[in-house]
Structure 1
Amino acid sequence: MGNTIRHLKVPIARESRAVCLGPDGAVAHVSRTMKMIQGRWKLPILFRLYADPAMRSSQLRQDLPAVSQKMLTQHLRQLEADRLIERTDFGEKPLRVEYRLSELGRNLLPVLVALRDFSTLQIAE
């Protein structure tokens, strides 16, 4: 296998390839997380929900005017399925639903802020 394998150069606490590869390795976990936030509107939705504790879909639609209702609904459902946001249906007529970050979604904030900081540094250079 030799020195050409890049994942062996990843600094890790243990000298084990399993940390980077395999179904329980770093690649699998990072890929799963990236899939959860992949999508044109998922990050803007998450950042918007970081700013306000709870929002209705109409408020999100106003704050993200370029997103269609279909895409907003689709991304909200996917974020809910991935347990990054919680949907509260008040059971009222007319329909009243609010979205808020779940505990898992709040735990993602430092990662997203680190990505933003990385991007800011790249622009500055």
Structure 2
Amino acid sequence: MATVNRPGAPDGHVCGIDAALEVIGGKWKVLILWALHQQPHRRFGELRRMLPGVTEKVLAAHLRELEADGIVHRESYDEVPPRVEYSLTGDGTRLNGALGPLADWGRARVLAARTTR
């Protein structure tokens, strides 16, 4: 997502939510964060199984973007066969904590909608 330089916003963002959504935007990124929160060190195949419907291409692209943004750490081990594990960085852990209230709101909203049917 390209940022637009706006008057009064030297980084091009309107607010902090705008900046955060630039990092977590997309259907799968928050689910990747959730999966890495459930178990700190995950291999690519494990993440793919936890996220039914995600393609390898999209998962790989999102992991690269999250790594570039300092949210996910990629550890490559010099073994045969090669092994790569993904984990949350400190910023990733803090971001997951910030998403907690949003998850609570979502669960409450779904529950309320189901009980009013």
TM-score over 0.5 for the pair: yes
Give the one of 85, 88, 113 matched to 1:101: 88
Gaps of 5+ in 2: 1-7
Q: 1-side partners of 2:57 and 2:28: how far apart?
A: 11
CA displacement, residues 45-100 of structure 1 (integer Å, 9 cap, x when unaligned): 10010000100001111111211111110010001001101000002222210000
Give the one of 5, 13, 18 matched to 1:31: 18
TM-score normalised by structure 1 residue count: 0.75
Q: Which amino acid aligns with 2:91?
A: L
Provide the residue aligned with 2:76 in structure 1: 89
Q: 2-side partners of 1:104 and 1:66: how far apart?
A: 27
Residues 23/122 of structure 1: CA separation in 2 closer, same or farther (3 Å cut)? farther
After superposition, residues 59-78 of structure 1 pair within 5 angstroms as 59-78=46-65
State whether structure 2 residue 109 is matched by structure 1 residue 122. Answer: yes
Q: 1-side partners of 2:45 and 2:17: how far apart?
A: 32
**Larger Rg over CA atoms:** 1
Equivalenced residue count is 105
* RMSD over aligned Cα atoms: 2.0
TM-score normalised by structure 2 residue count: 0.80
Residues 115/63 of structure 1: CA separation in 2 closer, same or farther (3 Å cut)? same
Secondary structure in structure 1 of the residue aligned to 2:14: helix
Q: 2-side partners of 1:122 and 1:67: how far apart?
A: 25
